[in-house]
Amino acid sequence: MSNQQNESGVTRREFVSTASGAAVGTILAASAPSLRAQAKRRYAIVGTGVRGIGMWGSPIARRYADSVEFVGLSDPNPIRLEAAKKSIGVSCPTFTNFDEMMDKAKPDLLMVTTVDGYHSEYLVKALNRGIDVMTEKPMVIDEKQCQTVLDAEKRAGKKIVVTFNYRYAPKHQKIKELLMSGEIGKITSVDFSWYLDTSHGADYFRRWHAYREKSGSLWVHKATHHFDLVNWWLDADPVQVTALGSLANYGKNGPFRHTNCRPCPHKTKCEFYWDITRQPRLVDLYVNAEKADGYLRDGCVFRSDIDIFDTMNAVVKYSNGANMSYSVNTFMPVEGYRVAFNGTRGRLEVRDYERQPWDPGEESEMYVIRNFGKREKITVPTRTEGHGGGDAVLQDLIFKKNVDVPPYMQLPGSRAGAMSCLTGIAARKSCDDGKPIRIADLVKIPT
Ligand SMILES: NC(=O)c1ccc[n+]([C@@H]2O[C@H](COP(=O)([O-])OP(=O)(O)OC[C@H]3O[C@@H](n4cnc5c(N)ncnc54)[C@H](O)[C@@H]3O)[C@@H](O)[C@H]2O)c1
């Protein structure tokens, strides 16, 4: 399967060796030996919101000070930018103009943590300057951006890293290892349901994520995590996607609406009322910064111009012959997921509990059930830090030298970034056009 020709006419092995995959290794290893020998990487961030600060700012400044020097922070919102600098605790210059930062600060490693719709712009600019670049997921939000980024990477001869932290959660690594062991035979289908609750799920509808042009919709913004996991777990490519989606509860469906929660006349009767002023950190970052860009972090979940889906179902066909039925629901009383892999020799079942109105007793339940055999409970390594422990592992892999990981735990590159986004882009398009969408019809992968 690993050298099978996919429908874009590119073998998986060729793709891995050209577009990224194993070639990425670690970002330090991917760099020229001279960069490895440098005492410190000249590190800059574009997009200084919560993710830029909390994942790629403060922990990096705190834990990797011996290998990383912050040389610049950039964000169009000058107030958020200064609040971010203070929060990260660095003394580097700040820039509202990205190009000025690149000219003056001369980073050799850029982290892109902007609103999703702008990742491609900064990836291309960094590649054109010949520097290493990492991006938060999703790598891009539409097929045009995807083509532009892949072509720019090929031209530059550099490698993008896409920071898919979910892969690094020990429970997800465990699933990968169980599937690789062949325990349940050849995988024929996957059942995958993701549940977002009335707190976390609703929050996507308060923020910029509620607009397709900013997030690509939750098919891209959120589901890219899940599609990347499946591509990686199965070691396969998506080939075709058929999907349905609706906006059934948020947006225009609300019984009333306002611009945002703070001045809302309906706050006493709205179940989704959310008081941002109770969180001083969010006040510093967003409320105080509103006067610079007008962005309301506590937007009304019932705004009538919300144009993403809150209820999504898809069927995905993969290059190894497996199919997946996948769903996301965003106003549930529970947060977490169920995934099951059906194989020729048995089934792997996982239920992950993130938040629910009862005590499930454990964070995840995992079982291997053998055909004509017994059910075996798998002990799942649990970690409580960011994203099941995945965030810290990923940071170590990027910023520590000589971190040994098996080949399947190497850093994901543009290929993984593209394939996961394209699954969601195809799903969105299938909802809009009412027909199956072939991945190979969306993007031409550079060879
Ligand atoms: N891997 C994960 O688990 C995870 C978790 C959260 C967020 N993220 C990703 O991180 C990124 C940032 O998300 P966030 O939650 O920090 O959002 P945020 O709204 O807190 O921050 C986004 C920042 O981008 C800036 N921005 C807006 N337009 C811009 C432009 N044209 N150019 C440059 N910057 C611009 C905003 O001013 C803001 O400071 C997103 O891509 C998101 O998908 C990933």
Query: What is the distance between the alpha carbons of residues 426 and 313, in angstroms, rounded to a whole number?
Result: 12
Pocket residues: Cβ below 6 A from ligand 1: 46-52, 75-77, 80, 113-116, 118, 136-137, 165, 221, 387
C-alpha 383 chain-centroid distance: 19
Predicted confidence at residue 239, as pLDDT, reads 98
Secondary structure (DSSP) of 18-83: HHSGGGGS-HHHHS-HHHHHSSSEEEEEE--SHHHHHTTTHHHHHH-TTTEEEEEEE-S-HHHHHH
Q: Both tokens of residue 120?
A: 């491609």
pLDDT tens digit sequence for 27-62: 444 443 344 445 799 999 999 999 999 999 999 999
Predicted confidence at residue 382, as pLDDT, reads 73
Predicted confidence at residue 391, as pLDDT, reads 82
Predicted confidence at residue 15, as pLDDT, reads 31
Cα within 13 Å of Cα(276), Cβ side: 22
Phi, psi of 390 (to 5 degrees): -70, -35
Kindly give the residue spans of alpha helices, DSSP state H, lying in 142-279.
Answer: 143-156, 170-180, 200-206, 212-215, 218-221, 223-234
Phi, psi of 246 (to 5 degrees): -145, 160
Predicted confidence at residue 404, as pLDDT, reads 87
Cα-Cα end-to-end distance for the chain: 19
CA-nearest residue, atom 38 of ligand 1: 49
Task: Name residues whose C-beta falls within 8 Å of residue 324's C-beta, 6 or more positions apart in sequence.
Answer: 189, 190, 191, 192, 230, 314, 315, 316, 318
Query: What is the distance between the alpha carbons of residues 172 and 443, in angstroms, rounded to a whole number?
Result: 29
Predicted confidence at residue 347, as pLDDT, reads 98
CB 242 within 8 A of CB 428: no
- Measured in Å, residue 271 CA sits from the centre of ligand 1 at 27
323 strand-pairing partners = 189, 317
- Measured in Å, residue 430 CA sits from the centre of ligand 1 at 27
Please report the sign of the dihedral spanned by the C-alpha atoms of residue 277, residue 281, residue 282, residue 284.
Answer: positive
Query: What is the distance between the alpha carbons of residues 102 and 110, in angstroms, rounded to a whole number?
Result: 9
Predicted confidence at residue 189, as pLDDT, reads 98
Q: What is the pLDDT along the chain (447 residues), one digit of tens a residue?
A: 333 333 333 333 333 332 333 334 444 444 433 444 457 999 999 999 999 999 999 999 999 999 999 999 999 999 999 999 999 999 999 999 999 999 999 999 999 999 999 999 999 999 999 999 999 999 999 999 999 999 999 999 999 999 999 999 999 999 999 999 999 999 999 999 999 999 999 999 999 999 999 999 999 999 999 999 999 999 999 999 999 999 999 999 999 999 999 999 999 999 999 999 999 999 999 999 999 999 999 999 999 999 999 999 999 999 999 999 999 999 999 999 999 999 999 999 999 999 999 999 999 999 999 999 999 999 987 766 666 667 888 999 999 878 889 999 999 999 999 999 999 999 999 999 999 999 999 999 777
Residue to probe by mutation, ligand 1, list 110, 114, 211, 393, most atoms within 8 Å of CB: 114
Cα within 13 Å of Cα(136), Cβ side: 26
| Count of CB atoms situated within 10 Å of the CB of 37 | 8
Q: Both tokens of residue 170?
A: 């020990």
- Measured in Å, residue 116 CA sits from the centre of ligand 1 at 7
CB 266 within 8 A of CB 65: no
CA-nearest residue, atom 24 of ligand 1: 114
Phi, psi of 411 (to 5 degrees): -65, 135
- Measured in Å, residue 119 CA sits from the centre of ligand 1 at 9
**Of 405, 399, 396, the residue nearest 35 (C-alpha):** 399
Predicted confidence at residue 380, as pLDDT, reads 87
Residue to probe by mutation, ligand 1, list 115, 207, 218, 281, most atoms within 8 Å of CB: 115
* Number of the ligand 1 atom closest to the C-alpha atom of 52: 16
- Measured in Å, residue 366 CA sits from the centre of ligand 1 at 33
Predicted confidence at residue 384, as pLDDT, reads 62
Predicted confidence at residue 390, as pLDDT, reads 74
